[in-house]
Amino acid sequence: MSDLDDPRTPLLTASQVCEQLNVSRPWLYRAARDGRIPSVRLGSDETGEGGLLRFVQEDIDAWLDRARAAWQPGDSSAQTLRRANVPESAAARASSQLATRQ
């Protein structure tokens, strides 16, 4: 992971990450809130709410590498998330979201 103590660590905006990953802004915010994608909240309160959402390129790259390595043909999103060591609560939410869409 990156060293956020280094002031030279560039932070990406949500718009930049959406463009890079070709995902919608609502998806990115939900994924960050659920812990499915690494993010940083700047100026958030003690609950982690509020504040600007930012991303570190090295963290996004590592997240993509883990997801690529964990994916197997026929996997559901939840299976891939579990294999990629995403927190169980995020994997469970992804699984339930998929079930409600079907």
CA atoms of 49 and 65, how far apart (whole Å) = 28
Q: What is the pTM of this model?
A: 0.64
More confident residue, 36 or 94: 36
> Is pLDDT of 86 > 70?
no
> Is pLDDT of 21 > 90?
yes
Which SS3 state, helix, strand or coil, does residue 43 take?
A: coil
CA atoms of 1 and 9, how far apart (whole Å) = 11
Residue 98's pLDDT band (cuts 50, 70, 90) = very low
| Beta carbons within 8 Å of 80's beta carbon, 6+ residues apart | 67, 70, 71, 72
> Is pLDDT of 39 > 70?
yes
pLDDT in tens, 43-75: 866 766 678 999 999 999 999 998 888 777 887
